[in-house]
Amino acid sequence: MAETERSIFSRIIAGEIPADVVYDSERLIAFRDIAPKAPVHLLVVPKTEQYRDVVELAAGDPELLAELVATAKRLADEHGDGDFRLIFNTGERAGQTVFHVHAHVLSAPAGSPGLE
Ligand code: 5GP
């Protein structure tokens, strides 16, 4: 893929752009969203740029999708109270701005009022 076509998340994965990384494994990375919409707002991102959105990921690599969901739960346990909202914006008109599949994990710390 040409340099100009690489996603912002591929550049974070390559270490070219700084990010507050909270999880890093063979196939996934997670970091704090730069514009948080909740007390805990993490992005869980497959390292491959092969899939534009969750529909493509589910069809192409369902095991990786399952690993992503399990990782979201683990991160919600570690950073929030274990309850979480898992959001995959899919398509421009649904608010997707980065076409490199990623999940938003929204959560809140134990003892806080929780998510709105
Ligand atoms: P989408 O709108 O595609 O579902 O989500 C993209 C998310 O990526 C947005 O919530 C946006 O705040 C976040 N984002 C965009 N650029 C960066 C960046 O350079 N660093 C981090 N940490 N998050 C980013």
Q: What CATH code would you report for 3-107?
A: 3.30.428.10
**Ligand 1 atom at minimum distance from 95 CA:** 2
pTM for the complete prediction?
0.96
Q: What is the ipTM, given to two decimal places? A: 0.99
99 lines ligand 1 (CB under 6 A): no
- Print the SS3 string covering the chain: CCHHHCCHHHHHHCCCCCCCEEEECCCEEEEECCCCCCCEEEEEEECCCCCCCHHHHHHHCHHHHHHHHHHHHHHHHHHCCCCCEEECCCCHHHCCCCCCCCEEEEECCCCCCCCC
Active-site residue set: 102
Per residue in 66-76, pLDDT (tens digit) is: 999 999 999 99
